Amino acid sequence: MTDPNAIQPSELDQLPDRDPEETAEWQASLDAVAKAAGPHRAAYLMRRTLERAEGTGVALPKLLETDYVNSIPTAAEPAVPGDEAMEARITAWNRWNAAAMVTRGSKYGVGGHIATFASAAWLYETGFNHFFHGKEGDGSGDQLYIQGHASPGIYARAFLDGRLTEAHLDKFRQEAGGNGLPSYPHPRRLPWLWEFPTVSMGLGPLSAIYQARFNRYLTNRGIKDVSASHVWAFLGDGEMDEPESTAALALAAREQLDNLTFVINCNLQRLDGPVRANFKIVQELEAQFRGAGWNVVKSLWGTAWDELFQLDTTGALLRRLRQVPDAQIQTYQTRDAAYIRQDFFGADPALAEMAKLLSDDKIIECFHYSRGGHEARKVYAAYKAALEHKGAPTVILAQTVKGHTLGSGFASKNANHQMKKLSVDEFKQMRDLLELPIKDSDFVDGQVPYGHPGADSPEVRYLQERRAALGGPAPARRVHPVAALPAPADKAFGAFDKGSGSQSVATTMAFVRLVKDLVRDKETGKRWVPIVPDEARTFGMESLFPSLGIYSPKGQTYEPVDRDQLMYYKEAKNGQILNEGITEAGSMADFIAASSSYATHGEPMIPFYIFYSMFGWQRTADQMWQLGDQLGRGFLVGATAGRTTLTGEGLQHADGHSPVIAATNPAALSYDPAFAYEIAVIVKEGLRRMYGEAAEGEDQNVFYYLTVYNEPLPQPAKPSGLGIDEGIVKGLYRFNTAESAGLTAPANAPRIQLLGSGTAIHWALKAQRLLAEEWGVAADVWSATSWGELRRDALEADAALLRGEERVPFVRQALQGAEGPVLAVSDYMRQVPDQIAQWVEQDYSSLGADGFGLSDTREAARRHFGVDAESIVVAALAQLARRGEVKASAVKEAREKYGL
């Protein structure tokens, strides 16, 4: 039987107690409070003690949750240094026009969202009036990640500011005819206004963290001092369910990114209903962020609640607020005072007594309207506290009502995210509530009017004066006039023109060697941003560690275990390499920040992100769309590419599809180079196009995707002759003919054209030899560096023909006059080479690695998929047999000969 007086395991401590009597006294005091005043009082004292300890720097585990009240009490709130009444009028106009714009557009069926901005209006307006620095002042200004569904409110403010007209607002979500407004923050669609695309939820918070981190990187490397820039990310509480939203919280805290503030609009609703119906999302987020090391500021209740908290002498109100789940809070916002008295206050005798002191109007005011996110003074206090906090990023949890001021038909209704319009009567109620000078007669034919106090009105002057004091309009995207980067010396690009002789070199290593030379360039070398997700040694990049250094804001506070080695692991505060650990999403966020630095900070940077190819377009393709939308520039490198090249991984990790997915992105220029000299030509062209003197009409806002392989093979010399570089860039050139390869075939031998990309060209070259030596067939071999660019050019040619312009696709020009049929092969699914099939005049067929990957040797995998040299020979003979150029029996004979 257990001795009840024995010390229980939970009471043991690894550390000896130097004063057990003092410990016992503290424990006895806690017991006495619990017995005399109840466990709630004891818990209250413990929380306050822990908060005190945390505030004085005592080393204790952090308190993960605080009471369900504002972090900053009313008495401690600073005065708002402005005209609050004027700001209220400005906000009212913006609320009106945001709702009017979406409602007017609804008659065309284009949709839009009203309720989100209605809840968040003061979160934005307070920032615009007092905190968000524009780009016309010193430095780069602030970076604003606007919540996508709140875009109508941002357009409404730009309209009041004179940056947009009624004609613009009437083309919300109607872009086809020009001068339209995109539905959400899309820089590619409205590049003078939007900086960051955010509506693919979860990517905004992740990108904001890495943007703040990249700002520090630029400063610490001496590229540009952007220490005055602050990153503000406006997020929804429902959005925080996305894994990417919280994926990098620890990074932000670890690197002490106090140049970053998250503002989470906690209106307690997501698209279909409550975010946490049976729980409390604010408390959950507080614990999550505090646990990660963030500073947390809660702005939950408006000033109307002050009286209630003053009456709460027993702590009953605090207890009840912690108990009530979010869905019930939402219900209170839609019910009358009698219901709230019974359900909320009636749950505790002390609260019932408190309710007797409150009028129905007071209860309605508190539970329907009064939220911390709806009052300028509360929001101002939270923002000021965030900027003043040093040593950690801050998250502001601002509680609001979704659909606030839109009337009882909208506020807190589960369906309000899908509700796209207000009736005329609802607009009139909104007008009266906001006290706007809009007459009934302004509603012509049932259409809601836009409202504007006048270009020279006190409201507009005040708005513009505040923005001028803060550095100009916001949000805004500016591409600063920057001279084109000088091209690196040709010597670096010509290193592989003579080939590698007998030395075997994988194209992955060839790319890394090229970059090693380019980062040494005196003019542009410092602008390269090497990004790698903990696989630098896999890609042969460890030699860059000591020369470039791995970026760390703390430098290197330890002696690395390999310090005595030549290629030791060197971290440095001014390090150039971003080695992100095992996070492809974080690495892509790095890339996006670096790739758009030319606009964000007026400093063009050249990021290259090298990764296992199957962890790129397969895993982070949404971020690659974000990259294209943000007009980013740089080099994505899918290494260890191909379905049969990295065979040990099998199934989904055998990349047979990345070029297919890349081809779907209009901003991506996808290449599958076969040889080292091709990589040099492509990178040189990419630097010219993205960072140099672009040709007239050429879009610089593109990024390059190169697939490279970990299969060491001798690298051939670059063929001589005109048009080789053009063919490499455009996607196709003839590498050799049967004759130039020194192969002998009978006179008038059947001829076939073999097109190969990436590592597959080596199988084609072997097949070329087998066809000549064993079957008397002459084959020419072509390197298809980009199936995607060939297709894109052909599509443009088709469009030109429809406009009455004569234009021949490049693939047809290149193959013009080539004898015999065409057989294309790659280490990807057949859909990759089949992209060009309809524009090839010759008979066309293809081979590819369709289906799931498998683990085996490369030779076995290639035989399995039917893409090895012998399989190419059989397919070539079959094509020629169908044309009557070889005997049909040759196909069966070849199959048996090669064991197929």
pLDDT of amino acid 9: 40
What region, left, alpha or beta, does residue 651 occupy, with left being phi > 0 and alpha being psi -120 to 50 degrees? Answer: left
Please give the share of the chain, as a percent, with pLDDT higher than 70: 97
The rounded Cα 51 to chain-centroid distance in angstroms is 36
Q: Convert the pLDDT of each residue in 333-383 to its tens digit.
A: 999 999 999 999 999 999 999 999 999 999 999 999 999 999 999 999 999
pLDDT of amino acid 2: 44
**Residues comprising the chain, all counted:** 900
- The mean pLDDT value for 819-847 works out to 97
In the numeric block, which tokens belong to residue 266? 């906690």
Q: Convert the pLDDT of each residue in 593-618 to its tens digit.
A: 999 999 999 999 999 999 999 889 99
Element (H, E) at 870: helix 869-882
Give every CB contact of residue 13 below 8 A, 6+ residues apart in sequence.
Answer: none
In this structure, are residues 328 and 347 in contact, taking their beta carbons and an 8 Å threshold? Answer: no
> Which range (208-212, 539-543, 824-828) has the least confidence?
539-543
d(CA 180, CA 618): 33
d(CA 575, CA 160): 45
pLDDT of amino acid 4: 46
pLDDT of amino acid 406: 87
d(CA 564, CA 568): 7
The CA–CA distances, whole Å, from 417 to 236, 406, 754 equal 12, 12, 55
Average pLDDT, the chain: 93
Angle between helices 869-882 and 889-898 (to 10 degrees): 170
- The mean pLDDT value for 92-101 works out to 96
d(CA 140, CA 163): 21
Q: Convert the pLDDT of each residue in 24-65 to its tens digit.
A: 888 899 889 888 888 878 888 888 888 788 778 777 777 798
pLDDT of amino acid 8: 41
pTM above 0.85, yes or no: yes
The CA–CA distances, whole Å, from 165 to 277, 464, 527 equal 41, 16, 40
Give every CB contact of residue 218 below 8 A, 6+ residues apart in sequence.
Answer: 224, 226, 597, 601, 603
Give every CB contact of residue 19 below 8 A, 6+ residues apart in sequence.
Answer: none
Give every CB contact of residue 37 below 8 A, 6+ residues apart in sequence.
Answer: none
**pLDDT at 1 exceeding the cut of 70:** no
**pLDDT at 82 exceeding the cut of 50:** yes
Residue from 856, 864, 830, 867 nearest 845 by CA: 830
DSSP per residue, 391-460: SS-EEEEEE--TTTTS-TTTTT-TTTTT-----HHHHHHHHHHHT----GGG-BTTBPPP----TTSHHH
Taking the CA atoms of the chain, what radius of gyration do you get in angstroms?
33
In this structure, are residues 209 and 239 in contact, taking their beta carbons and an 8 Å threshold? Answer: no
Residue where the block lists tokens 């190419």: 872
Give every CB contact of residue 848 below 8 A, 6+ residues apart in sequence.
Answer: 656, 825, 826, 828, 829, 830, 831, 832, 833, 865, 867
Give every CB contact of residue 9 below 8 A, 6+ residues apart in sequence.
Answer: none
pLDDT of amino acid 18: 76
